[in-house]
């Protein structure tokens, strides 16, 4: 098996309303790539959020009493904390420098995925602009996939990724937050190992594994590579959703 991950070239800075499928198709041509059945396009969350105008200027935010109280605990701007609360189902942990929440999309993350880095608004102080996650990343991935498939006559997958921390380890890693056309999870229970032993509990987060690999190519800072092309994904494509990856609350030992 060979898995090939190729950065897509010549993707411009994305602005609200930009047509991402057209930009991706143009980038594929510049990169001398032709989509084939089974290929996957992995996209950084930021370009989705920017195209969907999820930019917020903190000067437009009025923090609530709860946000002000929490801001003292986590030592963050109360206006940012207000946005975090608006984007979350529940606050799980707070300490200086961190606020961990269950996002409205169902997963656990820091600061509801709201980001300052590589975010620039059209006016005012750049420090006042933040970027929220897409409202529905699965829907965003599906829309882009349908446009690309219609334009190329292929059957492909599209995934949207972000950088998340993990309960057990330091450092962030690329993580799937939106998916269309490829399996998020592979259930290997009943598969045999090298010695004929049948696996009993093994399920593999194929989406997160691919997200982490793609993130190595994209980078986390000024690399300017928000999209990659993947060929050689070792599992059949199928419909799925982010919900496959969300651990049920009654199985979450870290709450």
Topology annotation, domain 4-53+134-244: 60s Ribosomal Protein L30; Chain: A; (3.30.1330)
Q: What is the pLDDT along the chain (255 residues), one digit of tens a residue?
A: 799 999 999 899 999 999 999 999 999 999 999 999 999 999 999 999 999 999 999 999 999 999 999 999 999 999 999 999 999 999 999 999 999 999 999 999 999 999 876 676 666 577 789 999 999 999 999 999 999 999 999 999 999 999 998 888 899 999 999 999 999 998 755 556 666 666 565 678 899 999 999 999 998 655 579 999 999 999 999 999 999 999 888 888 877
Long-range contacts of 24-28 (CB under 8 A, 24+ apart): 24/144, 24/148, 24/227, 25/148, 25/151, 25/152, 27/227, 28/229
Query: What number of other Cβ atoms are within 10 A of residue 120's Cβ?
Result: 11
Q: Which two tokens stand for residue 229?
A: 């092309």
Strand ranges (E), the chain: 4-7, 40-44, 55-57, 88-95, 98-103, 108-110, 129-131, 157-164, 173-180, 186-187, 203-204, 227-231
Q: What is the reported pLDDT for 128?
A: 84
Give the largest CA-CA distance in the chain: 64
Q: What is the reported pLDDT for 63?
A: 97
Architecture of the CATH domain 55-131: Alpha-Beta Complex (3.90)
Asked if residues 59 and 128 have their Cβ atoms less than 8 Å apart, the reply is yes
Q: Is the pTM of this model over 0.85?
A: yes
How is the chain split into domains, by residue range?
Answer: 4-53+134-244, 55-131
Cα–Cα distances in angstroms (integers) from residue 79 to residues 58, 71, 112, 122, in the given order: 6, 9, 13, 19
Which of the 8 DSSP states describes residue 65?
H
Q: Kindly give, in sequence order, each residue whose CB lies less than 8 Å from that of residue 227, ignoring residues fewer than 6 positions away.
A: 7, 8, 11, 24, 27, 41, 42, 43, 44, 47, 218
- The whole-angstrom distance between residue 40's C-alpha and the CA centroid of its chain comes to 15
Asked if residues 124 and 55 have their Cβ atoms less than 8 Å apart, the reply is no
Q: What is the reported pLDDT for 158?
A: 98
Asked if residues 99 and 76 have their Cβ atoms less than 8 Å apart, the reply is yes
């Amino acid at each position: 098996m060979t898995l090939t991950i190729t950065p897509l070239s010549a993707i411009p800075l994305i602005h609200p309303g930009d047509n991402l499928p057209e930009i991706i198709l143009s980038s594929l041509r510049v990169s001398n790539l032709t989509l084939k059945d089974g290929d996957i396009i992995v996209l950084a969350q930021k370009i989705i959020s920017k195209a969907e105008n999820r930019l917020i200027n903190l000067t437009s935010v009025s923090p609530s009493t709860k946000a002000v109280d929490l801001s003292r605990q986590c030592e963050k701007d109360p206006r940012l904390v207000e946005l975090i609360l608006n984007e979350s189902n529940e606050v799980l942990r707070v300490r200086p420098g961190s606020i961990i929440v269950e996002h409205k999309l169902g997963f656990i993350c820091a600061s509801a995925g709201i980001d300052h880095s590589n975010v620039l608004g059209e006016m005012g102080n750049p420090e006042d602009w933040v970027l929220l996650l897409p409202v529905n990343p699965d829907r965003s991935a599906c829309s882009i996939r349908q446009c690309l498939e219609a334009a190329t006559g292929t059957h492909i997958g599209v995934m949207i990724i972000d950088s998340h921390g993990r309960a057990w380890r330091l450092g962030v890693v690329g993580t799937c937050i939106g998916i269309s056309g490829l399996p998020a999870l592979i259930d290997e229970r009943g598969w045999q190992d090298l010695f004929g032993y049948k696996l009993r509990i093994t399920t593999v987060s194929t989406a997160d594994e691919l997200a982490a690999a793609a993130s190595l190519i994209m980078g986390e800072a000024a690399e300017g590579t928000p999209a990659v092309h993947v060929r050689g994904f070792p599992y059949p494509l199928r419909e799925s959703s982010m919900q496959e990856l969300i651990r049920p609350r009654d199985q979450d030992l870290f709450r």
